[in-house]
């Protein structure tokens, strides 16, 4: 499974990238707002930090304007993935931009039918939003499983990018369901290293080591 970081926080991306944990980055208008930075400037900086796809989202609602914005965003760096919403206009923009050779991530996917359309429009990635489905008492993981089955049934190459991830469990469940990518906030990725038994075991080893009176360095 590939890990994308869902943030426009350059310092957080740099820290995880140093560990080789970052296969890509996803941003959205809310994350750009949170960063307090100019979209073109911060996206360029992120593209310089990671080799993989960096999703930058269009904000127009009509296909022709999305296409123009997509071209401008794609101009930032060769590893830009243009993010378009899963609307009819977004699908038109997806088709046009992929035909021009750009990488496209179709976002805000909440149903298997929408994911089928994204694949048919040539999307490189489709982003089903797990957490936001859970928020309305639906099971986001069922959606990942359904999309996996449908894409495998017909051999679609569109990668399933599990998004709106809020917990470590979301990441592991998405991996079990066969999502190709999980995009998660930096704190969720870091929490994956934590386990109470690891802490307990380490504390016991430290206590015993202290008793030996030895030193390694």
Catalytic residue among 2, 34, 83, 211: 83
Name the residues that contact ligand E4P, by CB under 6 A. Answer: 6, 26, 28, 107, 127, 129, 131-132, 163-164, 183
Cα R_g (the chain), whole angstroms: 20
Minimum CB–partner distance for residue 57 and ligand E4P (Å): 8
Q: Is 59 helix (H, G, I), strand (E, B) or coil?
A: coil
- 127: phi then psi, degrees, rounded to nearest 5: -115, 95
Nearer to ligand E4P, 134 or 206 (CB): 134
Catalytic-residue membership of 83? yes
* 52 vs 131 by CB, closer to ligand E4P: 131
Nearest of 151, 213, 210 to residue 180 by alpha carbon? 151
How many Cα neighbours within 13 Å face the side chain of 172?
6
Nearest approach, Cβ of residue 52 and ligand E4P (Å) = 14
CB of 204: closest distance to ligand E4P in angstroms?
37
CB closer to ligand E4P out of 74 and 164: 164
Nearest by Cα to 26 from 184, 210, 141: 184
**Residue in the block written with tokens 């909440």:** 110
Q: With residue 192 as reference, give the H or E element that holds it.
A: none
Of 5 and 67, nearer to ligand E4P (C-beta) is: 5
Task: Give dist(CA 2, CA 18) in Å, integer.
Answer: 16
CB of 186 to ligand E4P, least distance (A): 12
Return the active site residues.
83
């Amino acid at each position: 499974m590939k890990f994308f970081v869902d943030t426009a926080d350059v310092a957080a991306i740099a820290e995880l990238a140093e560990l080789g944990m970052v296969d890509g980055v996803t941003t959205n208008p809310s994350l750009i707002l949170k960063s307090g930075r100019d979209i073109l400037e911060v996206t360029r900086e992120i593209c310089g930090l990671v080799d993989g796809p960096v999703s930058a989202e269009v904000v127009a609602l009509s296909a022709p304007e999305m296409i123009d914005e997509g071209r401008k965003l794609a101009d930032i760096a060769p590893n830009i993935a243009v993010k378009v919403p899963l609307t009819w206009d977004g699908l038109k923009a997806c088709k046009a931009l992929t035909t021009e050779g750009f990488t496209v991530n179709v976002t805000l996917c909440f149903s298997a039918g929408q994911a089928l359309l994204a694949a048919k429009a040539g999307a490189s990635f489709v982003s089903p939003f797990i957490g936001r489905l859970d928020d309305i008492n639906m099971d986001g993981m069922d959606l990942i499983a359904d999309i996996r089955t449908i894409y495998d049934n017909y051999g679609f190459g569109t990668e399933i990018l599990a998004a709106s991830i809020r917990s470590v469990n979301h990441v592991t469940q998405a991996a079990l369901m066969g999502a190709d990518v999980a995009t998660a906030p930096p704190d969720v990725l870091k929490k994956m290293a934590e386990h109470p038994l690891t802490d307990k075991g380490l504390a016991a080893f430290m206590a015993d080591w202290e008793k030996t009176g030895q030193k390694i360095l």
